[in-house]
Amino acid sequence: MTTSTDYPFRSGQLRRAGVLMRLPRVVISAVAWLLAIEALPVPTAWGVLTVVVVGTVAGVVAEPVIIRLVWWARRPSVQLAVPGDPGVRIWVTGRRAAGVGQAGRRHLVVPAAWVGRTDLCALIASAWQRQLVSAGRFDVAYQWFTWPWQLLAASASGFAHGMTRLPLIGFAWRMRIVVAGIAVWQAVVSGQHAATVGIVVVIGLTYLLPWTDARHERLVSKALADLERSSATPAPPATRRPVVLPVRPTATHAGRRSCTSAPRRGPEPCGQWRSPARQVTCTGEGIRAHDPRTSGRKGSRS
């Protein structure tokens, strides 16, 4: 398992998919905040605006504070840590959750009921891998700012789940593009341009939001597969450097010079004295000491 925290598998395509998934929800939340602030009295409106702005900024510069508020998180009573990255902080929440949640890049949130599970370490490791490939820098601030969307989505999801059980409602939902087309035509004929824009935006979001979710999840699954494949690939063996043996000098006999010890500078004698007209090899063959007291015949004194 890789221990890098530089998020190398979060490609540009995955980042753009995350932005495309969050952008419509941010716009919906911004419109909801503006409508709520406009409807409230002036002092209350300023208080709500202050809470929204301060909480969003704190989600970037003070993540633990916002995590405690949004996830109702606290420090675990037992020591929990990610096996591959000790820098990740793990929190425990009393809220009902479907699994280990990620809060930004450096925090994981574990349901309190899961603390005693035997497979908790594997679940934390899996959530950490997903965090490596999908976590963004402003995720905590996004969670704070999109409170209106989260409430709206939870309410609409529960209502839609109950209403789709009725045959006619479920059929109308599946055929909503046809129903929306009829409604748009009637709004245009009657001159209600604002209603036309509202219908187009709402129906378009019902198609756009599920598509962005599915696309982002597909890219996250692909990045997780690449991460598993890279961690399962064994590291290449280290290249062994060739062993350089020391060069031993050529053995020489006593009193003889080696020809490979140093470059020769001109005719250099290997013995004591020799005649300049005579070349003597460095192997010592044919070396004779020259006696200056002899001349003429070989061996006779002058």
pLDDT digits (tens, 9 = 90+) for 244-286: 545 555 555 455 554 555 555 555 444 444 444 444 444 444 4
Q: What pLDDT, on a 0 to 100 scale, did the predictor assign at position 172?
A: 66
Separation of alpha carbons 17 and 47, rounded Å: 34
Query: How confident is the prediction for the chain on average, in pLDDT?
Result: 75
107 membership: H or E segment, kind and range: strand 107-111
49 pLDDT band, cuts 50/70/90, is very high
89 membership: H or E segment, kind and range: strand 89-93
151 membership: H or E segment, kind and range: helix 147-163
The angle at the Cα of 242, spanning 237 to 247, to the nearest 5 degrees, equals 165
pLDDT 10s digits, 1-26? 444 444 555 678 888 999 999 999 99
pLDDT 10s digits, 191-211? 887 888 888 888 888 888 889
3-class SS at 102? strand
What's this model's pTM, rounded to 2 decimal places? 0.65
Give the residue carrying structure tokens 């004591």.
Answer: 272
Q: What one-character-per-residue DSSP string does 157-196 give?
A: HHHHHHHTTSHHHHHHHHTHHHHHHHHHHHHHHTT-HHHH
Separation of alpha carbons 282 and 286, rounded Å: 10
Separation of alpha carbons 252 and 238, rounded Å: 41
Contact 57, 97 (CB under 8 A): no
Nearest to 21 by CA among 215, 221, 219, 224: 215
Separation of alpha carbons 57 and 296, rounded Å: 113
Q: Which amino acid is at 36?
A: A
